[in-house]
Amino acid sequence: MTVLYPRVSLYAMMLASAGIPLYIHLPQFASVELGLGLGTLGAILLAIRLVDLVQDPLIGWMADRWPRAQLSLAMLAAGGLAIGFPLLFSLGPGPQAAGRLVLVLIVLFTAYSLGMILLYGRSATLAKRPEPRELLTLAAYREAGLLAGVIFAAIAPAVLAALGATGQGYGAFGMVLGLFALMTALLTRPIWTRPARMGQCLSVRSLANAGAIRLLILAVLNSLPVALTSTLFLFFAGDRLQLADYAGGLLVLFFLCAGFSVPLWTRISQRISPKPTLLLAMPLAIASFAGAAFLGAGSLAGFALICAASGAALGADMVLLPAMFSIALTKADLNAAAAFGIWSFAGKLALALAAALALPLLEQQGFRPGGPNNAQALGALTLAYAVLPCALKTAAFAFVLTLPPERPVP
């Protein structure tokens, strides 16, 4: 069975290119290449999340309703990404730019939702055994793949531009991601041919009894800080710190530290259980957000240290929270795909709220990406990138303290 885990990592890597990296590149691509305002982009992303409000739980219900169709659904998700990425980064400015962007993003995010819900919802099927220790091992492989995909997609446009691609490398980036999705679909077919492990139908009471509702609330609260920093990273590095030339390398450092930390957090959680491990990691993120608020222009070493620390903290979030949710569902013998449909929406809601709140606020305060910005505009950027995430992460830490105690993973 362990030979299938690398295929799980590969499928996760493909999906990751439609997650956080899209939010990293999209504001810059939409504002510079399409000529859209930050307020308009924030409204678009929030509107698409309204589609997800209905769509993600429905996708989860479909996956549980027709478990034998998981291979077809997984290939459909890869196909949506293979079509959507080249279309997205081939868009140009014009009066219909916003409308075309909405349509392509719906295709991309629907494919992303479908793939992610299957990948997480089938944890008990993909794991060697449906027990906590093995679910944590599967989570480590899955999250390592996600982080590898994030690193790949985060730096690809800059690398392609350096190799001669036009338009900041985004057109070539779309084609590379499309081809990668097709290749992944072919190589990962075996993981979707295993008979699906099914549980009982979901209800609000069953989710509450399993402790899953509290974990869903935590997922939204804990996702907001990283959603804000992911959306605003390029702006903060380039306009606030004047480190635009180093932004790609800093992103790589951030996600490499996240990836390298995953085995450590997994091993610790298998010894002392996930909740106390999470409580060890979260103060690292809080300190990182607080430190970023005090950096001045040109603080390369300081920001590199913050990227490394916050990346290591992100590794804990990525491996522990979904694993805790999966363990709770498996122990309660509940259908996981429908539950992860709700989980998927919760995570994307955080990203959309971050974009919908932060981008119009920055525009209102006079912030212009890549342009001259006064102290008020840069102060608003610091508030949105560092101060607010610090407060939100502190609130998430306090919420984790209220969770019931756990036994060490057997």
Residue-level pLDDT at 94: 80
Residue 188 lies in a domain: yes
The pLDDT score that the predictor gives to residue 300 is 94
Q: Quote the mean pLDDT of the chain.
A: 85
Q: Is position 377 within any domain?
A: yes
For residue 407, tell me if it sits in a domain.
no
SS (H, E, C) the chain: CHHHHHHHHHHHHHHHCCCHHHHHHHHHHHHHHCCCCHHHHHHHHHHHHHHHHHHHHHHHHHHHHCHHHHHHHHHHHHHHHHHHHHHHCCCCCCCCHHHHHHHHHHHHHHHHHHHHHHHHHCHHHHCCCCCHHHHHHHHHHHHHHHHHHHHHHHHHHHHHHHCCCCHHHHHHHHHHHHHHHHHHHHHCHHHHCCCCCCCECCCHHHHHHCCHHHHHHHHHHHHHHHHHHHHHHHHHHHHHCCCHHHHHHHHHHHHHHHHHHHHHHHHHHHHHCHHHHHHHHHHHHHHHHHHHCCCCCCCHHHHHHHHHHHHHHHHHHHHHHHHHHHHHHHHCCECHHHHHHHHHHHHHHHHHHHHHHHHHHHHHCCCCCCCCCCHHHHHHHHHHHHHHHHHHHHHHHHHHHCCCCCCCCC
Residue 76 has pLDDT above 90, yes or no: yes
- The per-residue pLDDT for 45 is 76
Res 409 pLDDT > 60: no
How many domains does one find in the chain? 1
Q: Is the pLDDT of residue 350 over 80?
A: no
Q: Is residue 408 domain-resident?
A: no
Q: For 251-306, write each residue's pLDDT tens digit.
A: 889 888 988 898 899 889 888 888 999 999 999 999 999 999 999 999 999 999 99
pLDDT category at 2 given cuts 50, 70, 90 is: very low
Q: Provide the pLDDT for residue 1.
A: 44
Report yes or no on 296 lying in a domain. Answer: yes
Give the confidence band of 391 by pLDDT, cuts at 50, 70, 90.
very high
Q: Is residue 406 part of a domain?
A: no
CATH number of the domain within which 194 lies? 1.20.1250.20
Min mean pLDDT across 72-81, 109-118, 310-319, 321-330 is at 321-330
Instruction: Assess if residue 410 is contained within a domain.
Output: no
- Is residue 197 included in any domain, yes or no? yes
Domain that holds residue 205: 2-401
